[in-house]
């Protein structure tokens, strides 16, 4: 026999519903918030939350989260980093895809200042990502030339 239920229990929620993760490839203990703050800053997280209330389709948000997912998975995986360092065409394709998504976000912004600020921060994060690879490649060449004498 089933216990009687009070129907009002099903209408209220004692705790706010936590959102599912929206950033792809995030199989870590880091929340979407922590990842956004790490790459784009806390101000952008606040802007994202404001834009959530204005969201129409969420297509631009998904594109931004795809960019963040790509940044996150490569930053967390040294094997992917090595692969991209050894395959400059693959790195260029990844970076170009990220810039393409950000450009699409800018086109869809309809001049919204918040969206443009978000896109600017994303462009800066991708630029940093790209320059970090150039720096690592340069440092590896320098280390190799120094160690070559001894090995």
pLDDT at 5: 52
Question: What's the chain's average pLDDT?
Answer: 87
Instruction: With CA atoms as reference, report the closest residue to 67 among 18, 27, 124.
Output: 124
Tokens (6 digits) for 39: 């790459």
Domain ranges of the chain: 20-139
Tokens (6 digits) for 117: 């600020």
pLDDT at 16: 45
Query: What whole-number distance in Å separates Cα of residue 116 and Cα of residue 114?
Result: 5
**Alpha-carbon distance values, 41 to 5, 27, 35, 55, 123 (Å):** 46, 21, 9, 21, 13
Question: Per-10-residue mean pLDDT for the chain, 151 residues long?
Answer: 50 51 85 95 93 80 94 96 96 98 94 93 98 95 90 80
Q: What is the pLDDT of residues 13-27, one digit of tens each?
A: 444 445 578 898 888
pLDDT at 151: 80
pLDDT at 149: 86
pLDDT at 94: 98
């Amino acid at each position: 026999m089933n216990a009687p239920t009070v129907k009002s229990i099903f209408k209220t929620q004692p705790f706010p519903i936590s959102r599912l993760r929206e950033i792809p490839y995030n199989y870590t203990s880091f929340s979407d918030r922590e990842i956004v703050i790490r790459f784009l800053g806390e101000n952008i997280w606040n802007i994202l939350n404001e834009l959530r209330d204005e969201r129409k389709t969420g297509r631009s948000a998904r594109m931004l989260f795809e960019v963040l997912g790509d940044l996150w998975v490569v930053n967390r995986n040294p094997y992917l980093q090595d692969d991209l360092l050894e395959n400059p065409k693959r790195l260029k394709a990844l970076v170009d895809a990220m810039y393409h998504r950000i450009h699409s976000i800018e086109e869809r912004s309809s001049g919204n200042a918040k969206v443009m600020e978000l896109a600017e921060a994303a462009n800066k994060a991708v630029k940093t990502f790209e320059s970090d690879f150039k720096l690592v490649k340069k440092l590896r060449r320098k280390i190799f030339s120094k160690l070559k004498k001894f090995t």
